[in-house]
Structure formats: structure tokens, C-alpha cells
């Protein structure tokens, strides 16, 4: 966990007794791929889905792939120009607000570059999502571990990227419920396998129901029984 993410975690004021959802943003809460595809088309570029990685799948009109430093610069331009305007996935706001009303804490954990924190925050606020936002670099496991250590209630982590879920499992085996959010995407057939115990959800109606069961009903059971989650 880098120093900026660590500072963001320290500023949080989480209740130790309320369940916690740690939720990815791109392609889980907001439509990253659709937004990127449209922006690339305006640049005369095309997004292919021949593998799981973005690098190598963004190509010029002649079919050559944009890679290396040119790829990183292009992605930086995209975040700078479009982060503030990404649309929500259907049902995301309703499900997150529903969980919050019933007592769950929500923290949004995004691997967008730190420089675009404010743009991402404005975008989410514009959609009515006033939840704490953390920006992260590299594996998400350390940030998930730091957040989970702040609560004694059930914790869930939901992401579309198997590597981030696996990193959380490696550091917190059995402590955090893992939800693999698999949206309808041309990249889905190339998903790498996730061997850690997890639940697959494909939309927010399904995710909301699973999270209510794992977080809210479990918390209610523990409070009645006097057990420590």
C-alpha cells in the first residue's frame, strides 16, 4: 500500500461494529469500458477484446497496437478527459444506498491514478454516491487488509479483476467475503481464473441480494447470538 493510500485510510472514521463493503469502481460502479471505447473512437482508435489486458488491445486504423509509454500516456489522457463523466452501471446507486440505509458501511476502492482522485470524486458525487473514496496503486490486498482491521463485523470486497480479489484472499484468507463482479463485457471470455473462494455476481440486483445476506443478515445473527464475527 503506497503512502497516499495509507494517508487516505488513516482519515477514515469507520464504525468497528457495522459491516463493511469495500467496492471497486471501474466496471463495477461506473461504465469504464463503454466510456473508453467511445473516447478512443473519437481519437481514430479502436478497442479490441482479444485478451484480458488493455495494453495491446488499443489499435490504430492500420491495426498496429499502442503499447509501452504511448499506451500509458493515452490512458492518462483518457482519465484526465473522461473520469468526471463516466455513467453508472444500472442499479449501482440503488443497491449501494439500500445497503447503507440498512446499516452497511461502504468504501470505494479504485486503482485510478491518485492525480484523478478529485475528478472521480466529483463524478461519483454527481451520481449521488457520497461514500468514502480511496485511490490505490498495485495490488488491493494491503488496502483491503487495512480497512478490514478497522471493523469487527463482516467485511466484503467486490471487484471485477480476479488479481485484486486474489491479493485480498492471500492476506486475509477466510476473513473477507470475496465477490467477483462479472459484467456483460467483450473481455469476459478472457477472464483469468480465480481460485480463492468467492461468489460470482453479474449485476447489481444479484450483488445487492448477496451482500445483504453476507453482511447484514450475518451481522444480525451475531448480534442476537452474542458471537464475535
- pLDDT for the residue numbered 141: 98
- pLDDT for the residue numbered 219: 58
pLDDT of 225 above 50:
no
pLDDT of 140 above 70:
yes
- What mean pLDDT comes out for the span 106-128? 98
Q: Which residue has the cell 498495485?
A: 138
Global pTM?
0.93
| Residues 59, 133: Cα–Cα separation, whole Å | 32
Asked whether the beta carbons of 171 and 147 are under 8 A apart, the reply is: no
pLDDT of 218 above 90:
no
Give the helix/strand (H/E) hosting 109: strand 105-110
| Residues 180, 198: Cα–Cα separation, whole Å | 7
pLDDT band for position 224 (cuts 50, 70, 90)? very low
pLDDT of 125 above 60:
yes
Average pLDDT over the chain, rounded to whole?
94
Q: Which residue has the cell 457520497?
A: 130
Asked whether the beta carbons of 145 and 167 are under 8 A apart, the reply is: no
- pLDDT for the residue numbered 217: 80
- What mean pLDDT comes out for the span 179-196? 92
- What mean pLDDT comes out for the span 64-92? 97
Q: Which three cell numbers stand for residue 12?
A: 477514515
- Return all residues near 43 (Cβ < 8 A) that are at least 6 apart: 74
Nearest to 190 by CA among 90, 60, 54: 54
| Residues 41, 84: Cα–Cα separation, whole Å | 19
pLDDT of 227 above 50:
no
Domains and their CATH numbers in the chain: 3-31+88-225 (3.40.50.1000), 32-85 (no CATH)
- What mean pLDDT comes out for the span 86-99? 98
Amino acid at each position: 500500500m503506497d503512502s497516499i493510500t495509507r494517508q487516505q485510510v488513516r482519515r477514515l472514521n469507520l464504525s468497528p461494529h457495522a459491516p463493511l463493503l469495500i467496492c471497486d469502481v471501474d466496471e463495477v460502479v461506473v461504465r469504464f469500458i463503454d466510456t473508453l471505447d467511445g473516447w478512443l473512437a473519437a481519437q481514430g482508435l479502436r478497442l479490441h477484446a482479444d485478451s484480458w489486458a488493455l495494453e495491446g488491445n488499443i489499435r490504430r486504423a492500420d491495426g498496429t497496437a499502442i503499447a509501452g509509454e504511448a499506451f500509458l500516456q493515452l490512458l492518462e489522457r483518457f482519465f484526465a478527459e473522461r473520469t468526471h463523466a463516466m455513467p453508472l452501471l444500472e442499479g449501482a446507486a440503488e443497491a449501494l444506498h439500500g445497503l447503507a440505509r440498512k446499516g452497511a458501511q461502504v468504501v470505494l476502492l479504485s486503482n485510478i491514478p491518485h492525480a484523478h482522485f478529485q475528478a472521480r470524486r466529483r463524478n461519483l458525487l454527481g451520481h449521488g454516491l457520497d461514500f468514502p473514496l480511496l485511490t490505490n496503486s498495485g495490488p488491493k490486498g494491503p488496502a483491503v487488509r487495512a480497512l478490514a482491521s478497522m471493523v469487527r463485523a463482516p467485511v466484503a470486497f467486490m471487484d471485477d479483476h480476479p488479481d485484486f480479489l486474489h491479493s485480498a484472499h492471500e492476506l486475509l484468507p477466510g476473513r473477507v467475503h470475496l465477490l467477483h463482479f462479472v459484467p456483460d463485457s467483450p473481455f469476459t471470455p478472457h477472464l483469468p481464473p480465480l481460485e480463492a473462494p468467492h461468489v460470482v455476481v453479474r449485476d447489481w440486483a444479484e450483488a445487492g441480494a448477496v451482500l445483504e445476506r453476507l453482511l447484514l443478515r450475518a451481522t444480525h445473527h451475531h448480534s442476537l447470538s452474542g458471537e464475535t464475527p
